Amino acid sequence: MPLIDDDGNLFGAVNVIDAIIVVVLLAVVVAGIAVIAALGGGESETRYATIELENQPDYVVERMDEGDVATFDGSEDSITVTDVQITPSATDDGNSSQPDVTIRAEVDGERIEDEDREEDRFQVAGNPVMLGNEIQLDMGTYTTTGTVSDLGPDGETLSDAEETSTTRAAVELANVRPSVADGLEEGMTETMRGETVATVEDVESEPASVVLQSEDGDIHEREHPQNRDVTIVVELQTAESETGIEFRGERLGVGSSIILTFDGLTIQGEVSEIE
């Protein structure tokens, strides 16, 4: 029997044109499936990320809260803030600057199989999420951008596995201006997002020392005509972790540098004693 008969039928049964159409349709279907798989066909998965937002303006810090959700147009993926940690910062001249912010977030995205990598890819709204990635979050009332510093299946918050407590510490402020020394008083507090994290319990000051060298090379120590050395005792809201006592997520110990803001007055000193 000829491959194609006089009527154009393949093996005498199927019209050649019909067969070609069927083959083309099958190719289109297979290609479509491949495209869908390449574009995402992944499995929904939830991971937990630590995102470093660094310096943030006050109006963003005030709005930022647990439960804030970032959504993405055209996607069911989302990022939900589960914990917020704020650390004041100061400029070289001791003035306050925008605080550093770190958040912990629940990330609902997709796990995509990747044959070229040892690990599958994780993405949100089609964008890969991995350590070191910069990610933009639109929370509706504010928008911010941060860097992913930790990512995994663990849902612990920044303060999980820590026992909260209060710690009294002495902080030394060396050679400060009179306006700073005179501005510190007992009872002053630092409040972060409506919660008191530091309270001044005692303030002591004395003239700062200045070292001078005479014309003959002798070294003399004299009192500074204006500046003062100040010691304050503060009660701090701290947490106890495996690494020791922490204040705002940073280890607190003798010799630690600490920044505190009391009623708009920002100071930076060194912890000299911990009770």
Residues of the chain with pLDDT > 90, as a percent, come to 42
CA dihedral sign of residues 111, 113, 116, 118: positive
- Predicted confidence (pLDDT) at residue 30 exceeds the cutoff of 60: no
Q: What is the pLDDT of residues 106-142, one digit of tens each?
A: 999 999 887 776 678 899 998 999 999 999 999 999 9
- Predicted confidence (pLDDT) at residue 95 exceeds the cutoff of 60: no
Q: Which two tokens stand for residue 87?
A: 């650390």
Q: What is the pLDDT of residues 188-235, one digit of tens each?
A: 999 877 789 999 999 999 999 888 777 777 787 888 999 999 999 999
- Predicted confidence (pLDDT) at residue 89 exceeds the cutoff of 70: no
Q: What distance in Å separates the CA atoms of residue 189 and residue 131, rounded to the nearest whole number?
A: 37
Bigger pLDDT: 165 vs 241: 165
- Predicted confidence (pLDDT) at residue 273 exceeds the cutoff of 80: yes
pLDDT at 7: 56
- Please choose, from the candidates 149, 167, 150, the residue with its C-alpha nearest in 3D space to the C-alpha of residue 246: 167
pLDDT at 96: 52
Residue with tokens 């505190």: 260
pLDDT at 134: 93
Bigger pLDDT: 107 vs 4: 107
pLDDT at 33: 44
Confidence of residue 8 (pLDDT cuts 50, 70, 90): low
Hey, how many other C-beta atoms are within 10 angstroms of the C-beta on 97? 13
Kindly report the backbone phi and psi dihedral angles of residue 119, in degrees, each rounded to the nearest multiple of 5, phi listed first.
-115, 150
Residues of the chain with pLDDT > 70, as a percent, come to 78
- Predicted confidence (pLDDT) at residue 160 exceeds the cutoff of 80: no
pLDDT at 62: 84
Residue with tokens 């309270």: 199
Q: What is the pLDDT of residues 229-248, one digit of tens each?
A: 999 999 999 988 777 888 88
- Predicted confidence (pLDDT) at residue 20 exceeds the cutoff of 50: yes
pLDDT at 34: 46
Instruction: Give start and end residues of each alpha helix (H) in 132-202.
Output: 178-183
Q: Which two tokens stand for residue 141?
A: 């009332």
Question: What is the mean predicted confidence (pLDDT) over 64-76?
Answer: 90
- Under a CB-based contact definition with an 8 Å cutoff, are residues 151 and 47 in contact? yes
- Predicted confidence (pLDDT) at residue 102 exceeds the cutoff of 50: yes
Strands 257-262 and 265-274, by their bridges, are antiparallel
Class of residue 144 by CB neighbours under 10 A (exposed 0-12, middle 13-18, buried 19+): buried
Mean of per-residue pLDDT scores for the chain:
81
Q: What is the signed CA dihedral for 130, 131, 133, 136, rounded to 10 degrees?
A: 80
- Predicted confidence (pLDDT) at residue 183 exceeds the cutoff of 90: yes
pTM: 0.58
Q: Where is average pLDDT lowest: 68-72, 192-196, 263-267?
A: 192-196
- Please choose, from the candidates 99, 246, 269, the residue with its C-alpha nearest in 3D space to the C-alpha of residue 200: 269
